[in-house]
Structure 1
Amino acid sequence: MQNLANKSIAILATNGFEQSELEVPLNKLREAGAKVDVVSLEAGEIKGWDKKDWGRSVKVDKTLDAVSADDYDAIVLPGGQINPDLLRVEQKALDLIKAFWTQKKVVAAVCHAPWLLIEAGIVKDRKVTSYNSIKTDVINAGGKWEDSPVVVDQGLVTSRNPGDLDAFCDKIAEEISEGRHDRRAA
């Protein structure tokens, strides 16, 4: 993985995030030297979902009200069914995601998190992958869905499931290292 010293990354999540989809990027990106903040709706802790039942809690580093895309080089959106479904109705969360995209920063989403990309209006004309059950949602939003472990399209990094997290994290680091991305029309 690329060295991410002097880089800052936000992981936006709330209760019901898929355990590995938050913890693996959190740990791998920190190991690569990045400062990584878990950002959520409220202070304290958020509880994960670990495959078929509630998992471990993770400390929230900053609340959504206290952060800006200006503070970070990238945003990572963990999936699970519950987490992105709760966040996609939070306008402040969508505004933050849109701000990263508008500033040509890396936006990374795994599993069901492309729901957030759909709500933020980011998937149209972009190559995207996701968990198979939301493939139709991506296509209906104008995304070019691919059945691939990880898909990258000009700073947009998507991954279909927790089994692909190593490759997902590697691509996030690569895209951050490349810097800002032109967002030409597809």
Structure 2
Amino acid sequence: MKTLLLLAKGFETMEFSVFVDVMGWARNDYGYDVPVVTCGFQKEVVSSFNIPILVDKTIEEVDVNDYDALAIPGGFEEYGFYEEAYDERFLNLIREFDKKDKIIATICVAALPVGKSGVLKGRKATTYHLRDAYRQKQLKEFGVDVVNEPIVVDKNVITSYCPETASGVAFLLLEKLTSTEQMDIVKKAMGF
């Protein structure tokens, strides 16, 4: 049950690390087969707050058939997040995962490239809800039925509204990749 963790430059480290940690605990401590493969436009992706991360694969090396899920952390506009998140190659990867009904899990503004890809048109989703909900207004412009709730699931797509929801999204992804029972074991072990 392999997950592709897709990183646009300017991604938020807290929203990235939660997928690595939750799946890491599941693999390391319980032997659950939930590897995470990191991916970006270059081998080194610089996050918000200028933390460089070396990724496993570049976007050109990805075959959607090798993965069961796509996870995307949000990021900061000031650090160039939308330059890559709105790139046609990024959007096409999202479309490919959706076409094959694979899970797409996003945190915060990572819902915006999913919206821009057209995948969320006519579907329920959420995104960053504070500061006059301007990001939710942007999501609505993509034809999305915006729901102001912490985590929204519509078919195969999980969206959430801020960094606070990061662990909830990661546990939900783990549950969809394994089972409720296995997710609960990892969640309790991590103190949640």
Q: Percent identity?
A: 26
Asked if 1:58 is matched to 2:66, the reply is no
Q: Which amino acid aligns with 1:36?
A: V
Deviation per CA, 1:151-170: give whole Å up to 9, x if none.
11111001111111121111
Q: Deviations over 1:70-94 (max 9, x none)?
A: 1100001110123641223322211
1:10-29 residue pairs with structure 2 within 5 A?
A: 10-29=4-23
Spell out the pairing of 1:41-120 with structure 2 (5 A cutoff): 41-43=41-43, 45-49=44-48, 54-82=49-77, 84-120=81-117
Find 1:123's aligned residue among 112, 120, 140.
120
In 1, Cα distance between equivalents of 2:14 and 2:101: 27
Q: State the Cα RMSD in Å.
A: 1.6
- Larger CA Rg, structure 1 vs 2: 2
Deviates more, 1:128-137 or 1:80-89: 80-89
> Deviation of residue 110 (structure 1)?
1.2
Q: CA deviation at 1:177?
A: 3.8
- Please state which structure has a larger fraction of its residues in strand: 1
Give the counterpart letter for 1:155 in structure 2. Answer: N
Cα deviations by residue, 1:88-108 (Å, 9 ceiling, x for unpaired)? 332221111111000000011
User: Given the two structures, how large is their TM-score scaled by the length of structure 2?
Assistant: 0.81
Aligned length: 167
Q: Contact 1:18/1:80 (CA < 8 Å) preserved in 2?
A: yes
The answer for unaligned runs of 5 or more in structure 2 is 28-33, 180-192
Say yes or no: does 1:147 pair with 2:148.
yes
The TM-score with structure 1 as length reference comes to 0.83
Instruction: Note the residue ranges of structure 1 that are not aligned, 5 or more in a row.
Output: 1-6, 179-186
Q: Partner of 2:37 in structure 1? A: 37
